[in-house]
Structure 1
Amino acid sequence: MGSAPAGTDRPAHRDGNVLRWLGAYTSSMIGDNVYYLALSWAAVQAGTPSQAGLVMAVSAVPRALLMLGGGVVADRFGPRKVVIGSDAVRCAAVLAVAALLFATDPGLWPLALLAVVFGTVDAVFMPAVGALPARVTGHGQLARVQGMRGLAIRFANVVGAPLGGLAVALGGSATAFGLAGLLIAVSVPLLISVRMRELPADDKAAERTAWRDLRDGLGYIRRHRVLAPLIAAIALGDFGFVGPLNVGLTLLTDQRGWGAAGMGWVVAGFGTGAGAAALLLTVRGHLPHAGRVAGVAILGGSVAIGALAYAPSVAAAVGVALLVGLLAGLSGALCGALLQTHADPAYLGRVTAVAGLASLGLAPLSMPVAAAAIGWWGTGPVFVASAAVCGLGGVLALCVRDLRRAELPR
């Protein structure tokens, strides 16, 4: 497509171009949620619990190994083409497995193959998705777009699981996979209709190897006075956040005897806080002193994570989780907007890939470590240690002058 229309500086929530992108993103994310529920259910039905766990985990391997290469692909070919192609491949793969399950009972192998394909495509899809907002709207609207994206993620999380469960109840895993494929398919024509600002053609791109592009991208990040410490702060925050708020929360509620209902309330508190932060950015569209606010939010969220292990009741835990969600959602959206606005658009796919590798490829490795540590030392010390790791990200954001002073454009 050609240049984005002049109206890209209008408020993002009133820009039809942005709303089409948001609709495509939301539909794809709901489809992802339905897909993961369908995959989990089908794997449990077809094999043992351990086999089902392997099927669910296998997609993480190609995603982690190929994510950096996916950033190179997004920058070389343009995020629009990559996202449309990736969504088309994901849709075709999910619908193929749905048709196979309708026709026969093939066992675990097609589910494992689908998980590998999905993880491989995600390695390209995620960096391209991260590079899209800067092409869809003006820089002054990127904070608002990050808030809208956060609302879409919360909505997809709330709606996707019940939709997937209903599809499984009505027609089994095949129906759920079919629904997931159709939801992902809806995003393709919407993305085709989105007008995006393209970069000037790079006449020397054909002369460079992909490996050279990757090295150039990593060197660009390393030398950047805002992006390098920002990605480090994001990685530390995620490493300290993922373990306690996933495995740790399950073990905490079990030890306290709060039951599944209590855990549900705590998770709902976190989701409500994160949704409120996303709504705040969507409505305001700009927060001054973004780097400083992000650092303070990371620090405050880390204190709340440590306090969660010592909440005396479900009600108190819900209140603390609400605060964790609010601060984590705020810092996450601000960090995402700072990445978008401070990265050269020509490098944005690779920048997103490095940040995504830390958040989605490496941070989940902390979950088994957190579970084992809780078994040895208990929830309190592990939550506090995780909070300290998370807090280091805030300290870094506040101590590095260029990041602390980083602002979002109006």
Structure 2
Amino acid sequence: MNISTQPGLLRNRSFLLVWMSGLTVMLGFSMFFLSVSWFIVDVLEQPAVLGIVLMSVSIPRVVMMIYGGILADKVRKSLIMFVTNMMQVFVMIAMITLYINDWLQISSLIVIALVFGFLDAFFFPAVSSMIPIIVRDEELQRANSLFQGSTELMFIIGPLIAGLLLTIGDFTLTFSAAALLIFISTVLVFPRFIGDPVPGKRTDGGSAVEDLKEGLAYVWNSSLHRTGTLTIVIINLFMIGPLIISFPILVGALGGTPFELSLLEGGLASGTFLASIVLVAWNIKHGRGRLVFVSLLVSFLLFFIFSQVTTLPLLVLLTALTGFMAMFVYLPTVTMVQEKTDKDKLGRVMSIITLAASGFEPIAFGLISLLVAAALPIQTVLTFTSITGLVLGTVLVWRSPAFRRLN
């Protein structure tokens, strides 16, 4: 595929198919996770194990993410997406069968969650390294923003649809709807439809460990890649992770309701979605390094203010603003990394970036939980994390003059 001859973004068939596939699979995932969560709480009446099931999704995803990137550099990316989605459809069919026969229990849900997390570890490096291959460099910012923003929107719409389906039907309906959406996503990324290139055969015979070392060295030896990765680690470990886990704790401490909890979660999703739309319209080409650093520091300042506030409407507003600024850190950084990465290393590099974006959130969840369990008020904990993130961000800005000058 010759990128330079590709049509405009919204007339690019390969991108549109990948985008639609991402939308349908994310919609299916969000419906699946809400349905499973409610099934555990309402039917099995074991809310204490909900965290174990959710961790069963994230752990294999984090552990296998790097190898998923190695595979994406060796195997046709659309084929990886097609196979992983199809396997998830089979898992969904198995879960529906278990539910219909009253065999769906915590043990089987943990196994299902482990398989889903394992497959996600291969899907996401493939799709994130696919986009730079099927779109022109000058449209990469818009493509990333459009893909990221619209998939974020699915995590707002999906639970609403799942809730409606559970109101008019049972779990068979919601599980089946999620399975159907994942199947549609599978069809959309059929390799012949996408037409992405097959990676050339390697002649060096490198093992997976050698490929991993090469990918890590490639990131560490590049100022852009190293600084971009550290930026994403800082914002996820010290802001996004603590922010997400603080919502139920904070609402509980303030004597709030589940509706108010949904307002905080919706505020974060709305802020990230709006930022993605702005970045689609504003196709930034100059001063992106400076924009990333300014957004990083501003987001931590907003997060610090969030840690001092006890009024719910203001908390929702600050959550939305923080999410908005965080996307101005994440999306331009990802785009610059994609633009400056050799095509034969895109899978490994994007798996490292994805790991930096999602792998550190569970660490933040654990650290915040430990501090709260030690009887520290949640707002004190958030104050500490926001100040730590702001200090580390300032040091990174100071030590990275080359990144500041990037366009």
Output the TM-score relative to the length of structure 1: 0.91
Q: Distance in 2 between matches of 1:131 and 1:328?
A: 21
User: 2:133·2:196 contact (CA, 8 Å) conserved in 1?
Assistant: yes
Query: Deviations along 1:10-33, whole A, 9 cap, x unmatched?
Result: 2x2453432222111100110110
How far the C-alpha of 1:200 sits from its partner, in A, is: 5.9
Q: Does 1:96 align with 2:97?
A: no
Output the TM-score relative to the length of structure 2: 0.92
Q: Distance in 2 between matches of 1:61 and 1:200?
A: 29
User: 2:156·2:266 contact (CA, 8 Å) conserved in 1?
Assistant: no
Map of 1:61 onto structure 2: 59
Map of 1:31 onto structure 2: 28
- Distance of aligned partners of 1:211 and 1:171 in 2 relative to their CA distance in 1, 3 Å threshold: same
- Distance of aligned partners of 1:141 and 1:36 in 2 relative to their CA distance in 1, 3 Å threshold: same
- Distance of aligned partners of 1:343 and 1:160 in 2 relative to their CA distance in 1, 3 Å threshold: same
Q: Distance in 2 between matches of 1:363 and 1:52?
A: 17
How far the C-alpha of 1:184 sits from its partner, in A, is: 0.8
Larger mean Cα displacement after TM superposition, 53-62 or 193-202: 193-202
Runs of 4+ in structure 1 over 6 Å off: none
Query: Deviations along 1:189-232, whole A, 9 cap, x unmatched?
Result: 22226545537623415x22122111111111111121012101
Say which of 191, 214, 233 aligns to 1:216.
214
Q: Distance in 2 between matches of 1:157 and 1:203?
A: 39
How far the C-alpha of 1:3 sits from its partner, in A, is: 4.0
User: 1:41·1:173 contact (CA, 8 Å) conserved in 2?
Assistant: no
User: 1:34·1:164 contact (CA, 8 Å) conserved in 2?
Assistant: yes
Map of 2:237 onto structure 1: 239
Map of 1:379 onto structure 2: 378
- Which stretches in structure 1 are left out of the alignment for 5+ residues? none
- Distance of aligned partners of 1:312 and 1:63 in 2 relative to their CA distance in 1, 3 Å threshold: closer
Q: What residue identity is the alignment partner of 1:212? A: E
Larger mean Cα displacement after TM superposition, 13-22 or 118-127: 13-22
**1:191-202 to 2 correspondence within 5 Å?**
191-192=189-190, 194-198=193-197, 201-202=200-201
Map of 2:155 onto structure 1: 157
Q: What residue identity is the alignment partner of 2:402? A: D
Q: Distance in 2 between matches of 1:186 and 1:74?
A: 22
Secondary structure of 2:170's match?
A: helix
Map of 1:396 onto structure 2: 396
Larger mean Cα displacement after TM superposition, 274-283 or 53-62: 53-62
Q: What residue identity is the alignment partner of 1:26? A: L
Q: Distance in 2 between matches of 1:272 and 1:104?
A: 38
User: 1:236·1:389 contact (CA, 8 Å) conserved in 2?
Assistant: no
User: 2:28·2:178 contact (CA, 8 Å) conserved in 1?
Assistant: yes
Q: Distance in 2 between matches of 1:201 and 1:143?
A: 27
Secondary structure of 1:76's match?
A: coil
- Distance of aligned partners of 1:174 and 1:109 in 2 relative to their CA distance in 1, 3 Å threshold: farther
User: 1:233·1:394 contact (CA, 8 Å) conserved in 2?
Assistant: no
Larger mean Cα displacement after TM superposition, 67-76 or 386-395: 386-395
Secondary structure of 2:189's match?
A: helix
Q: Distance in 2 between matches of 1:390 and 1:46?
A: 39
Q: What residue identity is the alignment partner of 2:19? A: L
Query: Deviations along 1:167-201, whole A, 9 cap, x unmatched?
Result: 33333223222111110111122222654553762
User: 1:31·1:160 contact (CA, 8 Å) conserved in 2?
Assistant: yes
Q: Distance in 2 between matches of 1:95 and 1:4?
A: 38
Q: What residue identity is the alignment partner of 1:149? A: F
Aligned residues: 403
- Which stretches in structure 2 are left out of the alignment for 5+ residues? none
Map of 1:324 onto structure 2: 322
Q: Distance in 1 between matches of 2:379 and 2:47?
A: 29
How far the C-alpha of 1:104 sits from its partner, in A, is: 3.6
**1:142-291 to 2 correspondence within 5 Å?**
142-192=140-190, 194-198=193-197, 201-204=200-203, 207-291=205-289
